[in-house]
Structure 1
Amino acid sequence: MESHNPVESKKSSCSNASCCAPKTPIIRSSPKVGRNDPCICGNGRKYKKCCGKNT
Structure 2
Amino acid sequence: MFDNADRSSKEQDMEVASCCSNESCCVPQAPVTRSTPKVGRNDPCPCGNGKKFKKCCGKNL
Scaled by the length of structure 1, the TM-score of the pair is 0.59
SS in 2 for 1:28: coil
Q: Give the secondary-structure state (helix, strand or coil) at the position aligned to 1:38.
A: coil
Alignment size in residue pairs: 42
2:59 aligns with 53
TM-score (norm 2): 0.54
CA-based RMSD: 1.9
Decide which structure has greater helix share: 2
How much identity, in percent, do the aligned residues show? 67
Equivalence for 1:23: 29
Structure 2, gaps ≥5 residues long: 1-16
**Which ranges of 4 or more aligned residues in structure 1 deviate by more than 6 Å?**
none
* Larger CA Rg, structure 1 vs 2: 2
Pairwise CA distance, 1:46: 0.4
